[in-house]
Amino acid sequence: METREKIIIIGGGFAGLQLAKTLNNKNKKVIVLDRVNHHMFQPLFYQVACGRIEPSNISFPFRKIFQQSRNTQFRLTDVKSIDHANNKVITNEAEFTYDKLIIATGCKTNFFGNKELESKAFGMKNTQEAISIRNHVLMTFEKLILEKSRSDDGNWNIVIVGSGPTGVELAGAFSEMKKEILPRDYPYMNFDHLEIILVSSTEKPLAVMSPEAQEKSEKYLKELGVKFLSGEVVTDYDGDKVYLKSGKDIPSNNVIWAAGVTGNVVDGFPFENLIRNRYIVDRYNKVKGYENIYAIGDIAYMETPKYPQGHPQVANVAINQAKNLGKNFLKKNKSEWVEYEYKDQGSLATIGKHRAVVDLPFIKFQGLFAWYFWMFLHLMLILSVRNKLAIFFNWMWSYFNKDSSLRLIIAPNKKNNTQQ
């Protein structure tokens, strides 16, 4: 009986999950390792942070996904290092041997080494962080209604640092929350004091998109009342004030950091295998210097003629690198392997109701139709029918009622905190 090749995948994000699905029920033994027990649909984290949808609507348990699988297993564990000399993955609980190892650990928020920022500002790269933002923002208003003397000192400003898709989508959602929802929840508070401030190091929002998308998104932000600070760089944050390179400061207790990401690198690799905290890989996603270790998605740095500085860290790249690698693994001869080539399928962002921008390879459009296109595409990418229906219902309820019933403050108790 032929021994099945053992493939370990570290990380169950877009790349890791897609690879596992490509290899599902094939003649391989696949083990997925992750520190959480579910896949998360990151593009909608901002809606969790704003109380528009529940975390469960965009979270999919791995054990449910692979419930009918004959060859794929999941292990909940935190990977600490890789012993590549002995083909072992070292975790807190156990050691796992492999024939092939695939690193799909994705990215985390990049605070550029500023420990003060890291400890006081909120990132938004996982479900827990999105829930923490929702809790903290809502607690701000609960405290202010008790401390009315502080309601005009600017401390309740919501400051979002970074004007990529995450930043503009958050700014738009919080602006609509300020206009439509908060005055009904807190009828005795004056929300004229609340400012949504988007701090951008670039002159226009959505710098990676087309000039048309940049101009339109800036217009939409202004229509929604967002204060857009262009060409500004945040240098520090002490929990009360955001300090800018220009010498200005912004009082705020709510700072969300969406200004960059950095790779979740696993210990066990020399520095020369990395560029900008991403593993250097060839056109087959094989890590430089290793014959049986691969990296896919945001953590992989692959230079091609079309992308000499590496691919953008977006879901489309992660998913298609995983598909390509999975198909290569299933071929009998390595001579049949196909190099990865990225086909840019475009980008899009929404900035509030009826406001979105879409850049496709063959057309660019903005406004109402772009907003419907954004909703349809994201709904189709959600994994399960149950979750699609739940999100669709929440969206329709919010659309017609301009409200949401999901503004729950759910924080871990002190006992749980001490055990973490």
Same fold yes or no, 5-35+77-109+262-330 and 115-259: yes
Name the pTM for this structure.
0.92
Mean pLDDT of the chain: 91
Q: Is the pLDDT of residue 418 over 50?
A: no
In 3D space, the residue among 295, 268, 297 whose CA is nearest the CA of residue 282 turns out to be 295
| pLDDT interval class at 2 (50, 70, 90) | low
Domain spans in the chain, listed from the N-terminal domain onward: 5-35+77-109+262-330, 115-259
H-run or E-run covering 390:
helix 385-401
- ∠ at Cα 173 (167, 179), nearest 5°? 135
- pLDDT above 90 covers a percentage of the chain that reads 73
Over 80: is that where the pLDDT of 151 sits? no
198-202, 318-322, 340-344, 415-419, range with the lowest pLDDT: 415-419
Cα 22-23-29 angle, rounded to 5 deg:
160
Identify the band that residue 420 occupies on the pLDDT scale cut at 50, 70 and 90: very low
- The answer to whether the beta carbons of residues 106 and 19 sit under 8 Å apart is no
Residues 6+ apart with CB under 8 A from 416: none
The average pLDDT across 365-375 equals 96
Tell me what pLDDT residue 419 has: 43
Q: What is the dihedral of CA 154, 157, 161, 162, to 10 degrees?
A: -130
Topology of domain 5-35+77-109+262-330 in CATH is FAD/NAD(P)-binding domain (3.50.50)
Q: How far is CA 235 from the centre of its chain?
A: 23
- CATH number for the region 115-259 comes to 3.50.50.100
Q: Is the pLDDT of residue 184 over 60?
A: yes
